[in-house]
Homo-oligomer: A and B are copies of this chain.
Amino acid sequence: MAAGLAMLYLGDMAGTQQQLADRALDTPLVAKLQTRARLNDEDRDSLNALYADAREIGARRSIIREGDRPDHVHLMVEGWAARYKLLPDGARQITAFLIPGDFCDLHVTILGEMDHGISTLTRSRVAFIPRGRMEALTERPSLAKAFWWSTLVDEAVLRSWIVNIGRRDAFEAIGHLICELYVRMKNIGLADGQRFDLPLTQEEIGDALGLTSVHVNRVLQRLRSEDLISFRQGLLTIRDYRALETASGFNPNYLHIERRVDRPALIETPAT
């Protein structure tokens, strides 16, 4: 069964090493948690089993609303979602982009009431995990630790966004966001070379960085004209990763992804 599910996630098969091929068989959740935790077959099977009853949700649909007290946890199986807060004047601030393998609300049963909402951006598949099932999983110390690690990385990403919004100008901030999303997508096997699906509108990018869509448009054109990226029809290609990293001050250390043999490299080094 695990293999069957995993077939859905065959993505980047560029690497020729067997290890890379093995990784591609994991669901994004397992790929992500294995960034740090060593999981055994039973751990992996329990996680993969969560994918069984994922529901299809259309684009721009609410997953949870502020004030909700859901009794189950949501896991992104496919598609993109955004965590956001609305201000009294109707302005929206996105505080996280959720991609496959991300939990929407691992915390909510401990915290009580949701203090923000989550909506899909694209048509998505979302797994609904009852609280009791989640508690059963966290009884396994290896999984409890993996979830704990995942929460802490989410926190590190939030800190990084604060820096991005507070102290970088729009050009650097957008470049930085692109680098971050690239590394995260790569890490779950959803980037093909330096190309990946980025199904965000310019308005959504602006809502994440505290900018207007008009200004995002100006900056994207500059990023294109300086040959750092190309971006059309929801497909982003990084033309010069090193240059983009430098221009935006990106340092992936806060994502806490260890450089291991079985992790895909961010830059392809052609085997000569």
Contact = CB atoms under 8 A, between A and B. Distances in A.
A168 B165 CA distance: 12
Q: How many copies does the complex hold?
A: 2
A182 B118 CA distance: 29
B145 A209 contact: no
A149 B159 CA distance: 18
Given A115-B254, A253-B113, A85 B151 contact: no
Contacts of A258: 112
Interface string A234-260: 000000000000000100011010100
Which of A96, A145, A167 neighbours the largest number of chain B CB atoms within 10 Å of its CB? A167
Nearest to A88: B249
A32 B194 CA distance: 46
Contacts of A256: 111-113, 115
Nearest to A91: B167
Interface in A92-129: 92-93, 95-96, 107, 110-113, 115-116
Given A155-B155, A158-B162, A163-B87, A111 B149 contact: yes
A161 interface: yes
Interface SS of chain A: helix
A155 B96 CA distance: 12
Which of A111, A153, A162 neighbours the largest number of chain B CB atoms within 10 Å of its CB? A162
A113 B255 CA distance: 11
Classify chain A's interface size: 35 or more
A11 interface: no
B154 A95 contact: no
B253 A115 contact: yes
A93 B167 contact: yes
A254 B158 CA distance: 15
A62 to B, nearest CB: 18
A26 to B, nearest CB: 21
- List of 6 A-B pairs having minimum Cβ-Cβ separation, nearest first: A166-B210, A158-B158, A115-B254, A93-B163, A95-B159, A107-B152
29 contacts: A85-B160, A85-B163, A87-B167, A87-B168, A87-B249, A92-B167, A93-B167, A95-B159, A95-B162, A95-B163, A107-B152, A110-B148, A110-B152, A111-B149, A111-B156, A112-B258, A113-B256, A115-B156, A115-B160, A115-B253, A115-B254, A116-B159, A116-B254, A151-B152, A155-B155, A155-B158, A165-B165, A165-B210, A166-B210
Given A95-B159, A110-B145, 4 more contacts: A110-B148, A113-B256, A151-B152, A151-B155
